[in-house]
Structure 1
């Protein structure tokens, strides 16, 4: 446990060989080769993993890596809920990492109050994932998402997987600081007929 909030530590790891990411609920449709698992889905679609993480351990091992679960954090949520969501992200990520699964830490923030804890439990200069999907269309969400790009200053990432759009107006200043890798949302793939 590390930091003021006693967050479990997700250690940085070298992550290679991922050509695509599969949503957790679609994991059975893929053999795992050259793929990772993400949790950029409705929280209720993966609540079973909280109650019984060992049930999915062997299943997730066939994938190159797993992005730690993306428990919702919004700027207008009570701060205790934001802390809990961050804590559960680290608990699940550390659990799977300690059981032989490569884990890419998901970093999620709300408003500036969340900066006190949302970067805890993560080593600097690693590989991370963030989600812009659903965060940048509405002006209020976009404002807080852009402010949270503080993430680059705090963690100094080497590689960042971005689930969703990467507009130049938000990410342009960081393209030279880290290797930014887009993850196309599953719904976008469906809309363009790729699935």
Structure 2
């Protein structure tokens, strides 16, 4: 597939990408928001250099590396994709805190409706803002959304130079192991606000 032209990318600003979801998933991955490339193609994590698809394979979530155009295959593995904020931007830092907070509210409602075992937010900074958890760190969170556990993963963007594909795969692999061993958990008083 040829790369989109600069004009096509500009026209994709504020566009949307359909969620890949179903009720009762094992893990619902949640990006920050779609890239312009994703809005043009209609495929999540489509920007060249994004490491989401290679990391899914390296961590054992998928038996082979899927292309963004194969995103619907995730459902057969009990996986799905959504975003905190639905609208596409060139960079996630174009989103303001109020937009992330509103996206977090909508995500909590979506999670309550779909009831995945785990919600995996890919990006700790976005999670901190969207969920009003300023001290959150990568990994399993104490907060749950009903019976859905929450895990914060490193952002797979190529711009996130602090993490290599291999080190990201280790963290994603920790979630994969837990997701196959135990369901999300519900702790008294720790559900959604």
- TM-score class, shorter-chain normalisation, is 0.3 to 0.5
TM norm structure 1 = 0.37
Higher RCO (CA < 8 A, seq sep 6+): 2
| TM-score normalized by the length of structure 2 | 0.37
